[in-house]
């Protein structure tokens, strides 16, 4: 339960704090202003990193604070969040920023014992680097990756999505080798990113700022090194390079190009991979999705080849890097751009716009969505195990409060429903986990799990064809969630238990997002959904 609670607490805290911090940033003009290097056109708050950090720190401190590695990680991460926040508000000089990054790296090295001393098969057998070499090498690696993730934060949802995939890989590898501390921190970071990305995907309503991007970069390199260095593990020490390979390659490529032109490697320009993709004609969300696919490939490679020889992993990464660089170089040399078919532009895209204007798709898809989501929640509560006595009392009080508000204070209903559902959904899904053991590998269970995949598709349809001007929108992250919802339930039976936490989390997040879509589409008319919620509370309590 500690893993699931860590994930959910980090999601809820980040979702709750992000809008609040955004409002404060707008009030005090703590915003990122548009310029010629940036793709956004209006000022955007850049305080999301602080919300993310708090969302991750709180459950980590609650569940695993006594661990010395965790304490060192928290110290280093807090240093970077502090320096990053000051930089977001006051524009620190590069020298001061580097001092903060070095201080964070030294805390990981000397307080947490993180050192790159084992090079695996790249060095003679049983050879460990001496301290005088391992310490500076580790500091350079931590500072370098911290800046690599920071520099990749150039498109809405890009750095967050890359980091989410990285932490998914680190967390899964930690689970395989039994590293509880690294796994718990990875889950907390993943939950914080899930909560933040809902506001950060294109078009973003908030940015993570340097406080967020440096925090994520430091976390990624520290956890990956903690997983593969200095512990009794068969994992290759080259795995951090594979997991973090795309942002590292991007940063090194840009810096080499700047130096070759006689410029400072830290000067700003528009030569990152995401800039090159947009120069090729890809749209903003398409560029983000392409980089997600690159990172997903590296994630799968790191898991599949985790026990391969170090030379094989290094060679494979070099081949991957050469192919990526050759592709971009060829496109730049031939000045090729994406050719969008006139037929698509004139016929298909025009037809889609017409369907959206006429409201045909949204009319029928929303009817299914409006009926299906409450029914799915009710069934989930109906099959769940009976909660403890305090849970039954909470259900009774919550149901009575909803009925009273429906009758006397209808304006309070959306806020009350959000509060109740954000508690009801995780517990009903978790307590309903017994359904898997009772009906394992049966058509009934496959239909039930498949309904979550249908909900994911309906979320995308409703969000894309909605005629709302603001509110909940579909984004590239929804495709990652949809893949999780469709793939995890259909794993072979012997693997189901290994992925139970991921399956439960996917269901919870889909129900959360479903409620957000319903609330946005219903425009405050929530009485029918409120009655379904009361019925679900009764079903869970009984």
Mean pLDDT of 30-38: 60
- The fraction of the chain above a pLDDT of 90, given in percent, is 16
- The fraction of the chain above a pLDDT of 70, given in percent, is 80
The pTM for the full model equals 0.77
Cα separation, 287 vs 277, whole angstroms: 6
314 has a pLDDT exceeding 80: yes
Mean pLDDT of 216-224: 93
Q: Using 50, 70 and 90 to split pLDDT, how confident is the model at 496?
A: very low
The 10s digit of each residue's pLDDT in 251-273 is 888 888 888 887 877 777 777 88
Q: Output the average pLDDT for the chain.
A: 79
Q: How far is CA 251 from CA 26, 169, 190, 244, in A?
A: 31, 21, 23, 11
357 has a pLDDT exceeding 90: no
How crowded is residue 205: how many other Cβ atoms within 10 Å of its Cβ?
17
Query: Exposed/middle/buried for 94, CB within 10 Å: 0-12, 13-18, 19+?
Result: exposed
Looking at residue 320, its pLDDT comes to 92
Q: Using 50, 70 and 90 to split pLDDT, how confident is the model at 101?
A: very high
Pairing type for strands 31-32 and 44-45 reads antiparallel
Q: What pairs with residue 215 in β-bridges?
A: none
Question: Scanning the structure block, which residue is given the tokens 């120069």?
Answer: 279
Mean pLDDT of 296-317: 87
The three-state (H, E, C) secondary structure of 429-480, written as one string? HHHCCHHHHHCCCCHHHHHHHHHHHHHHHHHHHHHHHCCCCCCCCCCHHHHH
105 has a pLDDT exceeding 90: yes
Q: How far is CA 154 from CA 204, 274, 346, 378, in A?
A: 12, 7, 31, 42
Question: Scanning the structure block, which residue is given the tokens 């009926």?
Answer: 371
Write out the two tokens for 110: 């000397």
The 10s digit of each residue's pLDDT in 115-152 is 888 887 777 777 788 888 989 999 999 999 998 888 88
Return the closest-CA partner of residue 377 out of 261, 507, 506, 524: 507
Which one is predicted more confidently, 212 or 345? Answer: 212
Q: Using 50, 70 and 90 to split pLDDT, how confident is the model at 39?
A: low
Mean pLDDT of 349-361: 54
**Cβ-defined contacts of 196-199 (< 8 Å, 24+):** 196/14, 196/18, 196/48, 196/51, 196/52, 196/55, 196/160, 197/157, 197/160, 197/161, 197/164, 197/475, 197/477, 198/15, 198/472, 198/475, 198/477, 198/513, 198/516, 199/18, 199/19, 199/22, 199/48
Write out the two tokens for 237: 């020490």
Looking at residue 486, its pLDDT comes to 46
Write out the two tokens for 542: 């009984």
135, 137, 142, 148: CA torsion to nearest 10: 170
The 10s digit of each residue's pLDDT in 527-542 is 888 899 999 999 888 8
Backbone angles phi, psi at 280, to 5 degrees: -75, -5
How crowded is residue 321: how many other Cβ atoms within 10 Å of its Cβ?
16
Looking at residue 343, its pLDDT comes to 42
Looking at residue 458, its pLDDT comes to 81
The 10s digit of each residue's pLDDT in 223-256 is 999 888 865 567 888 899 999 988 999 888 888 8
- The residues, any chain, with a CB within 8 Å of residue 277's CB and separated by 6 or more, are 286, 287, 290, 291
Assess contact for 25 and 188: CB atoms under 8 A.
no
List the alpha helices (DSSP H) in 38-91. Answer: 48-64, 68-90
Q: How far is CA 539 from CA 18, 447, 500, in A?
A: 33, 20, 23
The 10s digit of each residue's pLDDT in 409-440 is 888 888 788 778 877 888 888 777 655 555 55
Strand, helix or coil at 32?
strand
Q: What pairs with residue 44 in β-bridges?
A: 32
471 has a pLDDT exceeding 50: no
Which one is predicted more confidently, 376 or 523? Answer: 376
Q: Using 50, 70 and 90 to split pLDDT, how confident is the model at 342?
A: very low
Looking at residue 236, its pLDDT comes to 85
Looking at residue 535, its pLDDT comes to 92
Cα separation, 522 vs 188, whole angstroms: 32
156 has a pLDDT exceeding 50: yes
List the alpha helices (DSSP H) in 91-179. Answer: 94-110, 131-151, 158-177
Q: Is 292 left (phi over 0), alpha (psi -120 to 50) or beta?
A: alpha
Assess contact for 6 and 167: CB atoms under 8 A.
no
- The residues, any chain, with a CB within 8 Å of residue 95's CB and separated by 6 or more, are none
Q: Using 50, 70 and 90 to split pLDDT, how confident is the model at 307?
A: confident
Query: In 3-state terms, the chain is what percent helix, strand and coil (to 5)?
Result: 75, 0, 25
Assess contact for 378 and 542: CB atoms under 8 A.
no
Q: What pairs with residue 45 in β-bridges?
A: 31
Mean pLDDT of 182-203: 83
CA-derived radius of gyration, the chain:
24
Write out the two tokens for 184: 């718990």
Positive or negative torsion for Cα 279, 284, 287, 291? positive
Q: What pairs with residue 118 in β-bridges?
A: 128
Strand, helix or coil at 297?
helix
476 has a pLDDT exceeding 60: no
Assess contact for 37 and 270: CB atoms under 8 A.
yes
467 has a pLDDT exceeding 70: no
**Cβ-defined contacts of 400-406 (< 8 Å, 24+):** 402/530, 402/533, 402/534, 402/537, 403/534, 405/530, 406/527, 406/530, 406/531
Write out the two tokens for 167: 């932490």
Mean pLDDT of 391-399: 87
């Amino acid at each position: 339960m500690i893993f699931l609670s860590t994930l959910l607490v980090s999601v809820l805290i980040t979702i709750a704090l992000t809008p609040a911090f955004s409002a404060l940033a707008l009030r005090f003009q703590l915003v990122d202003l548009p310029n010629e290097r940036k793709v956004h056109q209006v000022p955007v708050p850049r305080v999301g990193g602080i919300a993310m950090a708090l969302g991750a720190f709180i459950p980590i401190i609650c569940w695993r604070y006594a661990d010395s590695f965790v304490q060192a990680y928290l110290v280093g991460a807090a240093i970077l969040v502090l320096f990053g926040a000051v930089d977001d508000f006051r524009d620190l000089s590069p020298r001061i920023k580097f001092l903060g990054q070095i201080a964070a790296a030294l805390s990981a090295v000397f307080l947490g014992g993180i050192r790159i001393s084992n090079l695996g098969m790249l060095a003679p057998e049983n050879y460990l680097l001496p301290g005088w070499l391992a310490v500076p090498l580790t500091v350079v690696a931590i500072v370098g990756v911290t800046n690599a993730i920071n520099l990749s934060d150039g498109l809405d949802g890009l750095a967050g999505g890359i980091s989410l995939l990285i932490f998914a890989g680190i967390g899964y590898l930690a689970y395989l080798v039994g590293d509880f501390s690294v796994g718990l921190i990875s889950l907390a970071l993943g939950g914080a990113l899930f909560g933040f990305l809902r506001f950060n995907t294109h078009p973003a309503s908030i940015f993570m700022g340097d406080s967020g991007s440096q925090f994520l970069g430091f976390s990624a390199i520290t956890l990956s090194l903690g997983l593969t260095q200095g512990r009794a593990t068969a994992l290759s020490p080259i795995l951090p390079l594979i997991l973090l390979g795309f942002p590292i390659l991007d940063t090194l490529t840009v810096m080499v190009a700047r130096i070759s032109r006689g410029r400072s490697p830290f000067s700003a320009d528009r030569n990152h991979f995401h800039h090159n993709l947009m120069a090729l004609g890809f749209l903003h969300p398409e560029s983000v999705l392409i980089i997600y696919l690159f990172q997903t490939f590296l994630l799968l490679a790191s898991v599949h080849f985790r026990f391969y020889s170090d030379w094989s992993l290094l060679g494979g990464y070099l081949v991957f890097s050469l192919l990526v660089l050759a592709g971009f170089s060829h496109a730049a040399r031939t000045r090729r751009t994406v050719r969008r078919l006139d037929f698509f532009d004139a016929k298909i895209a025009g037809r889609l716009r017409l369907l959206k204007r006429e409201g045909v798709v949204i009319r029928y898809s929303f009817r299914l969505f409006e009926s299906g989501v409450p029914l799915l929640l009710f069934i989930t509560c109906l099959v769940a195990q009976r909660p403890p006595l305090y849970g039954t009392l909470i259900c009774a009080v919550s149901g009575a409060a909803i009925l009273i508000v429906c009758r006397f204070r209808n304006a309070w209903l959306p806020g009350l429903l959000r509060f109740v559902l954000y508690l009801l959904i995780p517990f009903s899904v978790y307590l309903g986990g017994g359904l898997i053991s009772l009906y394992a590998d049966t058509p009934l269970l496959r239909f039930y799990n498949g309904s979550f995949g249908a909900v994911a598709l309906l979320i995308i349809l409703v969000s894309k064809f909605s005629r709302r001007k603001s509110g909940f929108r579909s984004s590239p992250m929804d495709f990652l969630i949809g893949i999780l919802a469709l793939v995890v339930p259909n794993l072979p039976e012997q693997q189901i238990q290994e992925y139970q936490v991921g399956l439960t989390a996917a269901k919870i997040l889909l129900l959360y997002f479903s409620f957000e879509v319903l609330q946005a589409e219903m425009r405050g008319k929530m009485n029918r959904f409120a009655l379904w919620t009361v019925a679900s509370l009764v079903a869970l309590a009984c």
